[in-house]
A and B are shown apart, each in its own frame.
Chain A
Amino acid sequence: MELRLEGVSHRYGDVEVIRNIDLSIPKGRIVCIVGPSGCGKSTLLRFLGGLERPTSGSVSQVGEPPSDSINPLTYVFQDFALLPWRTVEGNISLILSDHGVPKKEAEDIITDVLARTKLSDFRKALPKQLSGGMKQRVAIARALAVNPAVLLMDEPLSALDSQTRELLMDDLVDLWTRAPFTAVYVTHNLAEAVRLGHQIVVLSRRPGAINEIVEIDTPLAERSSADPDLERTQQHLWALMRAEAEAADMELIDD
């Protein structure tokens, strides 16, 4: 299944937030969206997930989601959004049982996703016993458990320290390499974008419009932080963003 945005524009009251965006999210790829603060990245993600509708333009699904997909469009949030009163396992089983997955089958799914996210030993732990990185891994495991057609990730690593972020990026690359998934990954961190994105969509400052789309052909598993090509791409992205970010910053002060 692919997602497609056509001529999407949006305003909140008098504020124009997004202007005329055309974008398609190809199956099995990770599309990163970068852009200055307040340019409408999270809003775009809400449109993609169907939580909100744009003022004009269309958001469509091309093709059917896989038949075994329990929740085709699934979010991973920056703040993890784990229920603190449920164990790791309980956080995942809540969703599976609500979608009517039989208990035995749910157990198997949970075992599988916890193994994939290296959490098997923490099945019975409560969120408060886990570090930030582990919590986000639980949230990723929960998202994988519903076998989404498209994962919608809004700055999933932004709440983590830089070492943990590195580790989780490696984990995401591993996960994708073993079983490619489709994802839209919003971030303000360009290093994350060049590490994880097959495509990087650069948005302008508010109202967000597409400034440029950068493709990176190097396979995810072969990307390293020392790679000069990636370094160059990151520089290029920064050059695109810099002026916009500065201008956006000034606007916020003016408001």
Chain B
Amino acid sequence: MPRPSDVFLTLWDLAVSGALWTNLAPSLMRLLVGSTIGATVGIAVGVMIGLFSFARAGLVPLVAAIFPIPKIALLPLFVIWFGIDEASKYALIAFGTFTPTVVSTYGAVDNVDRSLIRMGQSFGLRWSTVVFRIVLPGAMPGILSGLRVSLAIAIILLVAAEMLGAEYGIGAYILQAGSLYDLERLFAGVTILSMLGVLLSTAVGAVEKHVLGWRT
């Protein structure tokens, strides 16, 4: 085991030499693009499932079927479809965040107080207003707590994707360190991942505080 102080020094070197940013920037980009696509589509599909029984009948079994597939196992497939470059990484992360987001959104929409939706309909509100002003805000607590899970999964998949054919990125950095048994750098990389996780979770917390202030 490397000593914590050595890991810290390695981190420091990384930061000073600029290598930290060289690796972090592409990782953040992949995380951002992949999870944005996955979460957006996931929320849209989850809302559809929650609102329409025909969508529920068709999509729930489909989601149940793809949820347990380890998405990492599909990486070679994505590489064939989207090439070895960024697109396949985006696709993997998007796909991995999509399923948990669908499941949590669908549950959250299902839990929205039906009397509020009935109220909207009885006042003759447009369909889009009912969805965007009643259903989505009502489902927001569940969607955001689902997002915490989805983003953690996104980090895991990010690393996996970067271990296969990425020049730069936290995952590539860790893989390199691992193959050289350079434990200090390995731990430095893992520390960065953990910090990324904490950062994302804090960000979701801040959004929750801002958006869900009406709750408490």
Residues of chain A whose beta carbon lies under 8 Å from any beta carbon of chain B: 49, 51, 71, 74-75, 77, 79, 81, 83-86, 94-95, 98-99, 126, 128, 146
Contacts and interface: CB of A to CB of B under 8 A. Distances in A.
A140 B119 CA distance: 13
A71 B124 contact: yes
A98 B126 contact: yes
Contacts of B215: 84
B116 A83 contact: yes
B115 A77 contact: yes
Interface residues of B, number: 19
26 contacts: A49-B122, A51-B121, A71-B123, A71-B124, A74-B122, A74-B123, A75-B119, A75-B122, A77-B115, A77-B118, A79-B115, A81-B118, A81-B119, A83-B116, A83-B133, A83-B137, A85-B138, A85-B214, A86-B214, A94-B125, A94-B129, A95-B125, A98-B126, A98-B133, A99-B124, A128-B214
Contacts of A95: 123, 125
Nearest to A142: B123
Contacts of B129: 94, 98
B183 interface: no
Given A77-B118, A83-B134, A85-B137, 15 more contacts: A49-B122, A51-B122, A71-B123, A75-B119, A77-B115, A81-B113, A81-B118, A84-B214, A84-B215, A95-B125, A98-B126, A98-B129, A98-B133, A99-B124, A128-B214
Nearest to A79: B115
Contacts of B138: 83, 85
A186 B205 CA distance: 44
Contacts of A126: 214
Contacts of A94: 125, 129, 133
Contacts of A146: 123
Contacts of A85: 137-138, 212, 214
Interface in B103-142: 113, 115-116, 118-119, 121-126, 129, 133-134, 137-138
A49 B214 CA distance: 31
Contacts of B115: 77, 79, 81
A86 B120 CA distance: 14
Contacts of B125: 94-95, 98
A42 to B, nearest CB: 12
Contacts of A77: 115, 118-119
Nearest to B212: A85
Contacts of B118: 77, 81
Nearest to B134: A83
B145 to A, nearest CB: 16
Residue in B118, B119, B137, B212 with the greatest tally of chain A CB atoms within 10 Å:
B119
A79 B119 CA distance: 10
Nearest to A85: B214
Nearest to B117: A81
A245 B123 CA distance: 33
B173 to A, nearest CB: 43
**8 A-B pairs with least C-beta separation:** A81-B119, A85-B214, A75-B122, A98-B129, A81-B115, A98-B125, A95-B123, A71-B124
Nearest to B126: A98
Nearest to B119: A81
A61 B137 CA distance: 35
A6 B6 CA distance: 87
Given A126-B214, A128-B214, A81 B116 contact: yes
A179 B138 CA distance: 35
A146 B123 CA distance: 9
Interface string B51-69: 0000000000000000000
Nearest to B115: A81
Interface in B135-154: 137-138
Interface string B204-216: 0000000010110
A86 B116 CA distance: 12
